[in-house]
Structure 1
Amino acid sequence: MPVCDPDRPWLEKAIESVRQQTYSHWQLCIADDASTQPYVRQLIESAAASDERIDVVFRESRGHICAATRSALSLSNGEFITFLDHDDEISPYALARIAVGIDRDHEVDLLYSDEDIIGSDGKRYDPYFKPDWNPELLRSQNYLCHLSIYRANLLRELDAFRPEVQGSQDWDLALRASENARCIRHIPHVLYHWRSISGSTAHADNVKVYALDAGRRAVQEHLVRRGEKAEATLLEFGHLRIRRSLPGEMPGVSIVIASDSESDIFRHMKVLQKFNGYSLELVVATTEHFDEMDFPDGCIVFPVDSEEAQSSRLNRAAAAASGDILCFMDERCEAIDAVQLESLVFEAIRTEVGAVGARLLSPGGCIQHAGYFLDFEMIVLHPYRGAPANFAGLRNRALLQQNVSAVSASCLAVKKDLFEQIGGFNAASGVFHDVDFCLRLLEAGLYNIWTPYVSLTMRDSLNDDTVESCQDEADAMQYMKTRWRDQLVRDPAGNPNIMIDHGLPVPVVKRT
């Protein structure tokens, strides 16, 4: 705990929150950063005298938070280390929950919990119920934040709390640790209470302007260490967007649609005229015969049987495609432009990425698709559906690129060789063929991505009524519940403490 002239009651509450832990095997390391208020030293010395588990060091000169945290770290002797600000609190069972998490997985090197905000009146509000490990989101915002717990041996190997990133030193540490951690675990409980007082980051995300640039630099350095050709850019609301470019030439891209509508096919054909210099083709699976239609170069019309399932039609069209990247598009989607297609391709080409999905909007400009939220009863739910396009969502997540378990095939990009390796779409999953496909990508150790930076409007509202019969729907749901039970019960991109109510993620009300 680095300390520098906090208000007396908040420092007392911070220390007392540690002493009230139900788990007793802890050490509190306090480094006072040359506080000027006399009560600070008195309070710290009194606490140390009353509990032998509290160790302190008083710095002779002001070094600011990075130097003070390093001083506190020098006192530590535990196997795992976490951090507490001098005016915040941890829940009474925080360390007990952490100990249980460590005991469940002996290879875990980094754990993190959910958090909320506590006001000066002691009332808690605005909980952040976080997803499980989500590397894409961590590059957009420091969602790990509080409470983060690090294996001491790993922490000592890192150049932690560098003055160069002061203000976002905890984000820098999380990124560095994630690059080396054997296992990262999420504890879905609110264990940290972040004090909201004037001047704190909890009070307003952009109150410390210097911290925003420090965070951007921390993420940029992370990208460089990973050898990624990308630039971290600051968004107007204080979070980041990663703009990527290709390490080499643009790969060949095949846009794949299944359509029996001449007007829809013609609309997507026009995209071929806008991509001079690109290896781009349009592959159309259709039951219709368009003998008099003049198809341009790069357009392949693939005949399919009217009795074929949608998944089978798309599989056959994908097999006929020659591109390195397949971009499946719903016939009702507006034609994609060059900038948006590049954004999909630049993500899909990454080695660790499986499927990449876009944000889909209704004709009225409301969100139709922002990634799927898995659910055992309904198979999928739709976060933010019906909300306006500029809706920020929980901690701005509706505006940030992130990992999700599954995305809609209404706009889905994937490497062709990966599509074939995974086995394409599975007819047994019926209307959920895109969800099943994405879960098989996760099973193979890949990450799926939803990006709001590719935003397409659907000609009609995106509904879930495309199965042919009630029996087909029942069979598809049963298949999904049998094949993917664990994932549907506990979506790693969601949180057991939230549910989707009329499109909005809201806290689950638990009655005891």
Structure 2
Amino acid sequence: MNLKNGIDLFKQYGLHDFTLRFMEWFDTKKRDRYYQNNIEKFLPGEDELNEQRKVKFEYAPLVSIVVPAYETAPVFLRQLVDSVLEQTYSNLELCIADGSNTTIVKDTLNEYKDERISYIKLSKNDGISNNTNEGFDNAKGEYIALLDHDDLLTPNALYEMVKELNAHDKIPDMVYSDEDKIVADTGKLINPAFKPDLNEEFLRHTNYICHFLMFSRELLDKVGGLNQEFDGAQDFEFVLRCNGAGADIKHVPKILYHWRIHPDSTAANPNSKLYAFENGNKAIKKYLTEIGEDGTPALTKDLGFYKIDYDLKGDYSVTVLANDEKQINEMKKKQREMSNLHIEYKVVKGQLSKEMEAVKTEYVVVADNDAIPMTDNWVEELLKYCQWKHVGITGVKCLNKNKKIESCGLNYDSNATVSSLFYHLPSIFRGYCHRADGPQNVMGVSLKLVMFRTNVIKEVGGINEKFSFPYRDLDVCFKIDEAGYDVILNTDVHVKLADNLNYNDEKSQKEFKKVWEDKLKKENKYYNANLVQSNGKFMFK
């Protein structure tokens, strides 16, 4: 963080938020040092690359890597071309669509004699989307991959992507990977982004998919090319459009792309291209309208991350199951009256499962005895996510007396060790890749305070009260996931707890592991295989 960027951020965030952001920046630097000191754990060695060169895939499509170039510095362009030509998967073509006013790009490419390089000189510089679309038109591949004109691929990038295509009975329409950033011309690698598998709700709030992106020609023909109206966020709008069209999207949890940052790049200084984020806002609005889940997205202080105020239309009925009248009174204070929202508060006098069976409303809220909402209109805010038919349960961010996180989504490992994501992080922290600050799909949420779609919780057989926290909580979330519904964490709703949570219950853990042994063997699709699974702190392996 240089002085100018620091001053800009201070103006943008104010003293309090800037102080917290500086603390998070310091944590990022610690992560970077670990990443740089252990880079061999995350990138392939020469022996592995040599083995990849020998592999013959059953399905080995021609992959066209499309690069819209504009006055690209020769040193960066040479590095890009070298990174493509050195791929361990060789059935590729590099399609350069050059919108430059000078011959700088062409002159640099003339240094290469590789027939896999395809160059077209555009009649004019018509913007990133139209320039890229001309590259698409010139590409011959069954699959197309996007590469920015000064970025780099790791040598195993295409190998891993094609390997993913071959790993499924139905060949995926689109594949994306993890990425990091390369600092100018220093070769220094920083900020690895270890991403979740397709995370519908998180994607609506930020283009976490970004690089490296590869998709089929068939999908491109189906949905159309990039849309110039969204220049700067054209790839975001494209991914949202593909997702809305039902594309089968897969994720390779490996660093395959180095995104170059320098003072004028969006990666280093988001304010340098504010229009890009405004177009991202437009892209989200368009997507929500097209899928019929209307809402109003808005930019946040953290450019590239958006808030969505989903519309509540029609009438809603909610039963809130609470511990006593005192808790109910506290809950009522934080929820305004609405003509289209009927809330029935009930004290649970017997078994929770029996009380839930008797619920007749569309939605039911379960609240433990020490859970008090801190967020205004909390029922309304939970409804905004739980109203959609693909959602089964919506959870919240639970905080302790010191306003630190006790639960913000649940993580687990193959031994059924369960932990909270971002455990004991200050509530205002944004967390790794903003995962503590953005509504998202998760595999589990704490039942300290949640909203269910009533038909869903009844369909999956309710809450198994033989388990204690956190296994009771993860069990019902697993059942909801298995039934095909989403588990949503709404990080905008905060709940205060009187006591700290105890994540250790050996008896429940043993029984839970027996019930869910097969599911526990699989990686948490909303975490990442490069992260330590036994806790939720997003620590690099």
TM-based fold match above 0.5:
yes
Distance 1:395 1:276, change over 3 A: closer
Are 2:519 and 1:486 equivalent residues in the alignment? yes
Is 1:449 paired with 2:488? yes
Aligned-partner SS, 1:161: coil
CA distance in 2, matches of 1:448, 1:139: 15
Report how far residue 11 of structure 1 moved. Answer: 0.7
Contact 2:76 2:150 in 1 (8 A): yes
AA of the residue aligned to 2:214: I
Q: Which of 314, 317, 321 does residue 248 from structure 1 map onto?
A: 314
Q: Against the structure 1 CA distance between its residues 8 and 272, is the aligned structure 2 distance closer, same or farther, given a 3 Å change threshold?
A: closer
- 1:182-226 CA-to-partner distances (Å, cap 9, x unmatched) read 421110000000001121122133431000101000111001111
Give yes or no for contact 1:108–1:181 (8 Å, CA) kept in 2: no
Out of 323-332 and 420-429, give the one that drifted further: 420-429
Q: Does 1:98 align with 2:146?
A: no
Matched, 1:68 2:106: no
Alignment partner of 1:82 is 2:120: no
CA drift of 1:480 comes to 3.1
Q: Is the 8 A contact 1:131 1:494 kept in 2?
A: yes
Equivalent-residue separation in structure 2 for 1:132 and 1:481 (angstroms): 26
2:209 is equivalent to residue 147 of structure 1: no
1:79 Cα deviation after fit: 1.1
Kept after mapping to 2: 8 A contact 1:206/1:212: no
Shift, 1:503, TM fit: 5.6
Report whether the alignment pairs 1:426 with 2:464. yes
- The CA deviation string for residues 101-150 of structure 1, in whole angstroms up to 9 with x for no partner, is 01112331011100000112001111000001101111111011000111
Higher Cα Rg: structure 1 or 2?
1
Of the candidates 151, 164, 178, which is equivalent to residue 114 of structure 1?
A: 178
Residue of 243, 246, 254 corresponding to 1:189: 254
Letter in 2 for 1:463: N
Q: 1:205 to 1:379 in 2, by over 3 A?
A: farther
TM norm structure 1: 0.87
In 1, the alpha carbon distance for the partners of 2:457 and 2:525 equals 22
Deviation at 1:53, TM superposition (A): 1.1
- Structure-2 separation of matches of 1:273 and 1:426: 29
Tell me, in whole angstroms, the C-alpha distance in 1 between the residues paired with 2:534 and 2:261: 28
Look up the match of 1:366.
Answer: 404
Distance 1:104 1:198, change over 3 A: same
Asked whether the 8 Å contact 1:114–1:130 carries over to 2, the reply is yes
Confirm or deny that 1:203 pairs with 2:268. yes
Q: Do the aligned partners of residues 161 and 121 (structure 1) sit closer, same or farther apart at CA in structure 2, a change above 3 Å counting?
A: same
**Residue in structure 1 matched with residue 425 of structure 2 by the alignment:** 387
Matched, 1:54 2:113: no
**Counterpart of 1:474 in structure 2: which amino acid?**
K
Could you tell me which runs of 5 or more consecutive residues in structure 1 were left unpaired when the two chains were aligned. 286-301, 305-312, 468-472
Match in the other structure for 1:7:
73
Q: Distance in 2 between matches of 1:205 and 1:507?
A: 26
Counterpart-to-counterpart distance in 2, 1:122 and 1:338: 48
Deviation string 1:147-183 (CA, Å, 9 cap, x unpaired) is 0111111112223211100000010111111122442
Deviates more, 1:178-187 or 1:328-337: 328-337
User: Cα RMSD (Å) of the superposition?
Assistant: 2.1
Greater displacement, 324-333 / 174-183: 174-183
| C-alpha distance in 1 between matches for 2:441 and 2:385 | 12
Q: Displacement, 1:375?
A: 1.7
- 1:435 is aligned to 474
Q: 1:273 to 1:174 in 2, by over 3 A?
A: closer
Q: Which amino acid aligns with 2:428?
A: N
Alpha-carbon spacing, 1:219–1:273, altered in 2? closer, same or farther (3 Å): closer
Deviation at 1:379, TM superposition (A): 3.2
Q: For residues 188 and 114 of structure 1, what CA distance do their matches in structure 2 show?
A: 6
Q: Distance in 2 between matches of 1:357 and 1:495?
A: 21
Distance 1:497 1:225 in 2: 35
Partners of 1:379 and 1:477 within 8 A in 2 = no
Where 2:282 maps in the other structure, the secondary structure is helix
Whole-angstrom CA distance in 2 between matches of 1:266 and 1:231: 31
Task: Report deviation, 1:479.
Answer: 2.8
Give the direction of change, closer, same or farther, for the CA distance of 1:274–1:147 in structure 2 (3 Å limit).
closer
Q: What is the CA–CA distance in structure 1 between the aligned matches of 2:79 and 2:166, rounded to whole Å?
A: 29
Q: For 1:30 and 1:252, locate their aligned partners in 2 and report how far apart those are by CA, in whole Å.
A: 56
Long gaps (5+) in structure 2: 1-66
Q: Distance in 1 between matches of 2:373 and 2:124?
A: 62
Residues 335/118 of structure 1: CA separation in 2 closer, same or farther (3 Å cut): closer
Q: Tell me the number of residue pairs that the alignment of Structure 1 and Structure 2 aligns.
A: 470
**Structure-2 change in CA distance of 1:264 and 1:351 (3 Å):** closer
Partner Cα distance (2:526, 2:164) in 1:
19
Query: Which residue identity lines up with residue 162 of structure 1 in the other structure?
Result: N
Distance 1:186-1:59 versus aligned 2 partners, 3 A rule: same
Aligned match of 2:415: 377
**Cα distance per residue 1:70-89 (max 9 Å; x no partner):** 11111111111110111000
Amino acid at match of 1:253: V
Alignment-derived partner of residue 27 in structure 1: 93
Contact 2:197 2:525 in 1 (8 A): yes
For 2:431 and 2:255, the matched residues in 1 are separated by 19
SS in 2 for 1:381: strand
Q: Which amino acid in the other structure matches residue 353 of structure 2?
A: N
CA contact (8 A) 1:428 1:479 kept: no
- Give the distance between the partners of 1:419 and 1:476, measured in 2 at CA: 22
CA pair 11-273 structure 1, distance change in 2 beyond 3 A: closer
**Residue 434 and residue 475 in structure 1: after superposition, are their counterparts in 2 closer, same or farther (change >3 A)?**
closer
In 1, Cα distance between equivalents of 2:397 and 2:508: 28
Describe the SS at the equivalent of 2:92.
Answer: coil
Partner residue of 2:360 out of 314, 318, 322: 322
Q: Spell out the pairing of 1:340-351 with structure 2 (5 A cutoff).
A: 340-351=378-389
Q: Distance in 1 between matches of 2:397 and 2:206?
A: 19
Establish whether residue 162 from structure 1 lines up as the match of residue 227 from structure 2: yes
**How far has the Cα of 1:44 moved from its partner?**
2.0
Displacement over 4 Å in runs of 4+: 261-268, 270-274, 335-338, 500-503
Alpha-carbon distance, 1:324 to partner:
1.4
Structure 1 range deviating more: 38-47 or 497-506: 497-506
Q: Partner amino acid for 1:353?
A: V
